[in-house]
Amino acid sequence: MSASMPIPNLRHLRVFLSVIEQKSITKASDSIFLSQPAITQAIAKLEKQLGANLFERHSDGMYPTKSGSIWQNRVTRAIEHLQLATQHILQEAQGRDAVHKNILAQISTTQLKALVAVCEAQNFSIASRNLGISQSSVHRAARDLERLLDITLFEKNSLGIGATAAAKELSKATKLAFNELKQGVSEIHALQYRDVSTIDIGSMPLARTTILPKSILRFNETHNDVNVRVIEGPYQDLLHHLRQGDIDMILGALRDPLPADDVIQEALWHPPLSIVARHGHPLFEKGEVSAIDLADYAWVVPGEGTPTRQAFENLFSEADIERPKRIIESSSQILIRELLLESDRLTLISAAQIEREININLLRVLPFELEHTRRPIGLCVRKNWLPTTTQSHFLSMLREVAEVFR
């Protein structure tokens, strides 16, 4: 959620869903064994937090408003994340064929926040500082959750506290659940014409210099109150954050095979790679450039496991010659540019990434056919991700801008 909107109490969310289902506070009271005043208070607190009325009172019962329906959808999805994770964890740990349905009803938001904080920090002291509460409170919440589930969540190790597989699974489900609630808040605010949400994008180098800046500028023309946060980093780090719900999408070179079974990919365009060197490089004096010529020079290439690095390896293996050994590994476009400008090094990159440098005659593309290196550039999102209307608008903008590059 956001700093201004605390994560709602899980029990309040269950109360909300019960009133939706029963269409009555009285019937909900009988269903979840909670007093009517307590249910009324829980709903009032939720409405105050969200700044929206969630129910319309009619003679034949209580029905959700438009905001209520939005919130119902997101709360249901959030609860499903937690339900599936707790059931799987208990079945794995205790071999149960059937899990008591009331387990989740006993888990509190405080316990889940403590779980996530300790999993991420791997230290109770750091987790408490990150949450802004006492270390004893974090420790108590985490241990209470362990006792409730009757499984080990944290183990001491040489580095501090290590999260067990069960803790990691429940932490991931919690973050995805909290993300659903954040999406719901954004959708309700957009309904009230006060959409100040944030779109979190994990971006790889090629996207950062091509479709992303153009898409952001065009998107902000119609959504100037929406923030866009671009996160850079190695692909595996971005994938981890995507699957945990920390970011909404990854924009960059697509992976084959699919990197995980809980994500999907969408190709936006297929640019080829080019061999690039400084203006005035000795190879530009040759009529034709061969793989043997390329092997004589030092290179700057991305790290192993990246699509571009694989294309670099294939360039020489397919020609049946030994690949260059004098290489510098980097995906930093600034560093690559400076190394090329100050030496005779070569690199493999999409010409679209260095369009400005080409236009002002700093760098040039070598005449070497690489049409076969076309690779898909596009989006990677969670398989069950439900974008908000605002996020859908941004995705449409990306697709429109990408059409120009095809």
What is the structure's pLDDT at 101?
56
What is the structure's pLDDT at 96?
53
**pLDDT confidence tier of residue 239, bands split at 50, 70 and 90:** very high
Is residue 99 in a domain? yes
Give the tens place of pLDDT for each residue, 34-66. Answer: 999 999 999 999 999 999 999 999 999 999 999
Is residue 189 in a domain? no
Is residue 108 in a domain? yes
Give the tens place of pLDDT for each residue, 14-28. Answer: 999 999 999 999 999
Q: Which residues pair with 301 in a beta bridge?
A: 329
Kindly state whether residues 283 and 343 are assigned to the same domain: yes
What is the structure's pLDDT at 4?
47
Kindly state whether residues 323 and 245 are assigned to the same domain: no
Kindly state whether residues 135 and 199 are assigned to the same domain: no
**Distant-in-sequence, close-in-space partners of 303: CB < 8 Å, separation ≥ 6:** 234, 309, 329, 331
Is residue 179 in a domain? no
Tokens of 97: 């064929």
Kindly state whether residues 22 and 168 are assigned to the same domain: yes
What is the structure's pLDDT at 157?
87
For the chain, how many structural domains are there in total? 3
Kindly state whether residues 106 and 151 are assigned to the same domain: yes
**Distant-in-sequence, close-in-space partners of 92: CB < 8 Å, separation ≥ 6:** 166
- Measure the CA angle with vertex 128, ends 127 and 132; round to 5°: 120
Kindly state whether residues 362 and 393 are assigned to the same domain: no
Kindly state whether residues 165 and 17 are assigned to the same domain: yes
Tokens of 187: 């959708």
What is the structure's pLDDT at 194?
83
Kindly state whether residues 250 and 288 are assigned to the same domain: no
Is residue 52 in a domain? yes
Q: To the nearest whole number, what is the mean pLDDT of the chain?
A: 93
pLDDT at 87 over 60: yes
Give the tens place of pLDDT for each residue, 75-85. Answer: 999 999 999 99
Range of the domain at 388: 195-268+378-405
What is the structure's pLDDT at 260?
97
Please state the length of the chain: 406
Is residue 253 in a domain? yes
What is the structure's pLDDT at 196?
85
What is the structure's pLDDT at 254?
94
For the beta carbon of residue 329, count every other beta carbon within 10 angstroms. Answer: 12
pLDDT at 2 over 50: no
What is the structure's pLDDT at 75?
98
Kindly state whether residues 137 and 58 are assigned to the same domain: yes
Give the tens place of pLDDT for each residue, 255-287. Answer: 999 999 999 999 999 999 999 999 999 999 998
What is the structure's pLDDT at 5?
63
**pLDDT confidence tier of residue 205, bands split at 50, 70 and 90:** confident
Domain with residue 231: its CATH number is: 3.40.190.10
Q: Which of 173, 204, 231 is the last residue of a domain?
A: 173
Kindly state whether residues 226 and 244 are assigned to the same domain: yes
Give the tens place of pLDDT for each residue, 130-149. Answer: 999 999 999 999 999 999 99
Kindly state whether residues 207 and 74 are assigned to the same domain: no
pLDDT at 251 over 90: yes
**Distant-in-sequence, close-in-space partners of 73: CB < 8 Å, separation ≥ 6:** 184, 386
**pLDDT confidence tier of residue 98, bands split at 50, 70 and 90:** very low
Is residue 238 in a domain? yes
Is residue 3 in a domain? no
pLDDT at 102 over 80: no
- Measure the CA angle with vertex 152, ends 149 and 155; round to 5°: 155
Domain with residue 50: its CATH number is: 1.10.10.10
Kindly state whether residues 152 and 37 are assigned to the same domain: yes
Tokens of 68: 């209520």
